[in-house]
Copies of this chain bind each other. A is one copy, B any other.
């Protein structure tokens, strides 16, 4: 067995080093490799400089079984990756008539004008196998050097991902022949660090073949549970049982399912409906809920009532309540939730009001003060919080808090006794 690195990533592009464009390949490749039990050991970002890229390729090909190189395959004079890879491996570039015909056909199909500079894209390092690009004009290529494989792909994420998934990952999988990684993501909400940390520690003491990474988000923690390297029977099934019995419905999903999708599923299952009344969140709560395809089944309406007049007109909030308590108050929040529920005939009304900042705060009602609550036939529940952070953070936090409140209510009425 080789003691080389598994895979290294080389990202090419001045725009990455100048902060003009955010990279997304590192995260994507890391995740994809993990799924096939292969490690990404190192990543590099370099500018569009032929000599620099060439010497990096030459140095790293000796250290790694696979190099994945992204970017710099376009038709302009800044695109030097193909030349640099050839230099780094010490082989000449060769013109590929077949690929040139493919590129020309692609341009004709799309009705684009081809220029002489596109010919550059049909040159490959000697011995390379072209990789066709289903979403763009620049083909990639794979070339071997000793026992190492170098896969070179275009930079645009749609093209990179399609070619990586379609051509390159199967080759990497075949090269290493590793069993797939045992892993699971648990998405939790409403469990504090003070409960989570000792729970995880005590579980890990008994499941020694597993590792757990805690990834906290705005209002919740994702737990990434993985088998240690090369361990296949790590007891994930038993771990799963124990974690679920400890956390119950506070694990709202596994994988990448969102809380709003879970809420949607619970509503749809019972034939219940929801209506939203927002103030400070300005549409963000509705946006989150309607991110779910099919949400029109249960989401009847969302009224963003920024002004007092619209709170009265659309939601039936009483002028007396607005004057007596102010728009950011518990009674107004409850009347907003009640009002939207009654106006739409929904099973549940949900409402937010507060001060997102940076302006609008007072000593009595500081920036970050929020009320969020529910209404249902025969009852209601409004909570008060002062959230830290800037405008966007406050809005994100109160949306999470209100979704959590609704989730708890739906679980309480659906699955009594859990959690």
Q: Which residues of A contact B (CB under 8 A)?
A: 9, 15-24, 26-32, 34, 39-47, 52, 213, 215, 224, 275-276, 278, 280-291, 293-296, 299-307, 309-310, 313-314, 343-345, 356-360, 391-392
Contact = CB atoms under 8 A, between A and B. Distances in A.
Given A20-B213, A283-B285, A284-B283, A306 B299 contact: yes
B282 A295 contact: yes
Number of identical protomers: 2
Nearest to A35: B19
Contacts of A281: 287, 290
Contacts of A314: 301, 303, 314, 343
A289 to B, nearest CB: 7
A301 B307 contact: yes
A253 to B, nearest CB: 17
A293 B45 contact: no
A362 to B, nearest CB: 15
A310 to B, nearest CB: 4
B302 A304 contact: yes
Nearest to A34: B18
Given A16-B26, A213-B15, A283 B293 contact: no
Given A42-B46, A304-B290, A314-B301, A23 B23 contact: yes
Nearest to A289: B282
A304 B304 contact: yes
A280 B287 CA distance: 10
Contacts of A358: 293
Contacts of A391: 291, 293
Nearest to A311: B301
A23 to B, nearest CB: 7
A16 B45 contact: no
Interface centre among A17, A19, A22, A41 (most CB of B within 10 A): A17
A153 B290 CA distance: 40
28 contacts: A15-B213, A16-B27, A16-B43, A17-B39, A17-B43, A18-B30, A19-B26, A19-B28, A19-B31, A19-B34, A23-B23, A26-B45, A42-B46, A43-B44, A43-B45, A278-B302, A282-B287, A282-B302, A284-B287, A290-B306, A296-B306, A299-B306, A300-B306, A300-B310, A301-B304, A301-B307, A303-B303, A303-B314
Contacts of A301: 303-307, 310, 314
A223 B391 CA distance: 28
